[in-house]
């Protein structure tokens, strides 16, 4: 550019993401051009300068990346043996380019052994590696169906759709180990029952052709050890 034409030269910068800015003269951008990209990717950036002598255009390609800040692994804390459960990986932020993840998205997995199982997920972008892990308690389904009937208090509420409340009450016969073990056992039963409800594992046949699924709608505290509101839904049309 010839000397003295800076104030007479306008410039337009296209950042390749749908944003373009025009400057009346080059002298107004002595400190450089700044722009913030909201998404990762490869952008074609162009700058076009125009004055009385004509115009000129230059193009460059800009690779915008983002640092991975966190990886989160989600799964139910209590699952049923030999029943598929979804393990979900969430990256934050989600637009981090092409990370390497040991468990991508949502994966269905079945645990064949009871007990505590630790699941670990790792995600990396470049030299940055993040990790998260959770511990799941795996129980046999018989723990749900084997709850003593005397410990279950069910109240069916009026109206449609049909809803009910389930309370798990302490055993009449004291358990060895004192109050702490008793409350821990009740909490364990409620978690297993709630997990079974959330996974659509509790159902029964109301009549031929009408299958009723029972699932939890909310868990709320009450004066009894466990209080779970449930809803009954039939897959076949109702006949009135």
Q: Where are the beta strands (DSSP E) in 140-177?
A: 152-157, 163-168
- Indicate the SS3 state at residue 102: coil
Confidence of residue 1 (pLDDT cuts 50, 70, 90): very low
Highest mean pLDDT: which range of 48-62, 72-86, 96-110, 191-205: 48-62
Q: What is the pLDDT of residue 239?
A: 30
Query: Rounded distance, CA 223 to CA 132, Å?
Result: 36
Query: Rounded distance, CA 180 to CA 141, Å?
Result: 25
Query: Rounded distance, CA 132 to CA 69, Å?
Result: 12
Query: Rounded distance, CA 67 to CA 70, Å?
Result: 9
| pLDDT greater at residue 159 or residue 52 | 52
Q: What is the pLDDT of residue 146?
A: 55
Residues 84-119: tens digit of each pLDDT: 888 889 888 877 767 788 888 888 888 888 888 999
Query: Rounded distance, CA 7 to CA 21, Å?
Result: 17
8 A C-beta contact, residue 121 and residue 131: yes
Structure tokens at 19: 């944003």
Residues 121-132: tens digit of each pLDDT: 999 877 788 899
| pLDDT greater at residue 147 or residue 164 | 164
């Amino acid at each position: 550019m010839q000397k003295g034409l800076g104030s007479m030269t306008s410039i337009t910068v296209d950042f390749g993401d749908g944003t373009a800015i025009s400057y009346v003269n080059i002298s107004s951008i002595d400190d450089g051009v700044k722009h913030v990209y909201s998404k990762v990717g490869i952008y074609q950036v162009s700058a076009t300068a125009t004055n009385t002598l004509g115009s000129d255009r230059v193009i460059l390609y800009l690779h915008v990346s983002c640092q991975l800040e966190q990886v989160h692994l989600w799964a139910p804390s209590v699952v049923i043996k030999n029943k598929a459960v979804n393990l979900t990986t969430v990256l934050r932020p989600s637009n981090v380019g092409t990370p390497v993840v040991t468990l991508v998205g949502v994966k269905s997995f079945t645990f064949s052994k009871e007990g505590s199982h630790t699941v670990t997920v790792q995600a990396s972008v470049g030299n940055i590696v993040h990790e998260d892990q959770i511990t799941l308690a795996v129980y046999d389904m018989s723990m749900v169906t084997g709850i003593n009937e005397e410990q279950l208090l069910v109240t069916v509420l009026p109206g449609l759709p049909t809803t009910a409340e389930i309370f798990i009450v302490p055993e009449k016969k004291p358990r060895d180990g004192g109050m702490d073990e008793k409350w821990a056992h009740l909490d364990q039963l409620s978690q297993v029952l709630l997990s079974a409800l959330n996974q659509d594992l509790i159902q029964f046949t109301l009549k031929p052709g009408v299958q009723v699924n029972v699932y939890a709608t909310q868990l709320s505290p009450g004066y009894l050890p466990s209080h779970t509101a449930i809803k009954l839904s039939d897959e076949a049309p109702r006949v009135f």
